[in-house]
Structure 1
Amino acid sequence: MGEKSWANVRALRAVLVLFESVSSLKVNFHKSMLSGINISDSWLGAATTALNCRVGRVPFTYLGLPVGGDSRRLAFWDPVVARIANKLSVWKSRFFSFGGRLILIKYALSSLPVYALSFFRAPTNGVALSVRFSRLYDLSVNKHCTVEEMATLGWEEGGDAWKWRRRLWYWEEVMVGECSLLLSNVVLQVSISDRWRWCHDISGCYSVRTAYNVLTSDVSSIDIAASDLIWHRHVPLKVYILAWCLLCNRLPAKANLMARGILVQDAQLCVSGCGEVETAQHLFVCCPIFGELWFHVRHWIGVSKVDPYDISDHFLQFTYLSGGAVSKRSFMQLLWLVCLGVVI
């Protein structure tokens, strides 16, 4: 607005009133705010009384984004973190299906951060590993070791740096693998302070453009096929979630349940009674009882093929049995999903 003066206050009100007259739009002064920098509260209160608006404070939120703060500080991102935590409240997941939780996670962890990072750069100091992997930090025996000592002991997966107070669960072992992968790119250098660096940009700073290029630059044929399956307009949400869990080997087959410590080793045999270990591949393709389904389906459509052992290869082969036309691939995908529901 300019310098602190009553002439500027009257000019601002005149501009808004003229805008109402010219555009036939209403300016709601009750919802407007007047903010001042290095201005006394008494003068600012008198100015807001003259304009019939509210006193604003810096930083403030506009269209869900904080304005006027320092994006290099972690406190600047607290509203974004609070909004994500509010969207992912525990009580909401209790009333959602698996598909509903998936959509909520995609919205909260994709849309909100990307929207904020489209305008501001994220801080480079990041989050401490003891906070990010708080579960592993609580179970670790080497809590007071320095980074140098951990690197000397060996922080690769299975290294001596990983010592625990008890045996880890399956999902905790997955977290160890994630932490080891994160530390594999760390290079220790003397007399140089630690900092986060985005390796996919020359400046070392994160940007939405480089993240998009990384995600779209290396897409395998399996990812393309899975994307076609997900965005199939005739596939219900719960069906493609079941197929996606199968392609990622996340179904609760007995072999997976044994790896998680839920079943004992003697209880991992196939439910059909064939005597083999019940894995997703065996149950869906190789089982002499359930695997016969694919022979009858191929005989029905008039195609003779050998079933691959891998689930993803099986999906790709079955999709292109009738050719590469879009309509034929769409029908074969639907048929594959129907058979999936019959087996599982």
Structure 2
Amino acid sequence: MWIDPWLIAVPLKDRFPMLFNLEKDKRCLEWTRTPNAVVELQEWNDLIELLDDVIIKDTPDKWVWMGGNNKEFSVKALKEFLISSVDFSDRFVMQWPKWVPRKCCMFMWRVVMDQIPTLSALQTRNTFSEDVSCSMCGDDIESAYHLLCVSQVASEVWFHISRWCKVNPFIFISVKDLVEAHEFYNVGSVAKEALHGIMHVATWCICVGIVLHGIICSIEVKPKEIFQDIKSLSFLWFRNRSKYRNLCWKSWCKFEF
């Protein structure tokens, strides 16, 4: 009786602690003495008022789900209960371009979530304690934003892409701008769909060029070659993985649809 929250939202022992202290058997009403103090009598009167509306039935006890309107427990009810107090008004929803391979989309998602192993990210996770300056230029901290957005190699690649796609030069404030940049340009629907995917392909190719060739293999990184890889790969995927299968290489190079 006292331990389970069957009458109100909390156990009766928490609502009426003075009466609970008088109990000989904590599972039922059996006093060590009759309540006589003012506080005890007040708790007793409050308990009587609560019990007046209770109808005891001769049926087996059962568990009741109190996390929602439905008294029955389900996984759906549990999920709704867990997210009921969470504010999603400022959540970031990432839209994946359908024609880009999953590996590029997953990589972009990891970039936005700061889940790629840059020196800055490793230091944040306490797995790297040495100098976190960029291994390529040493001008700034080696973060995803620096490597993929504002480093010398990345900046030159993004400049070539903006010239090719006939849009103003890209200005990235954070890595999230990589997945939203296509929304800020007044271009046609097909061009916007293409640009959306090109941003993902470019991010993938820049990382491969800088990390694999420049940092790991110590090979000179040429932004122009990375740009050509982006153009050819994106054409291959856009033509074969979208509905624009009649697109020719000449139109793609001119970014005309």
Give TM class, smaller chain.
Answer: 0.3 to 0.5
TM-score, scaled relative to structure 2: 0.46
Mark the structure with the bigger radius of gyration.
2
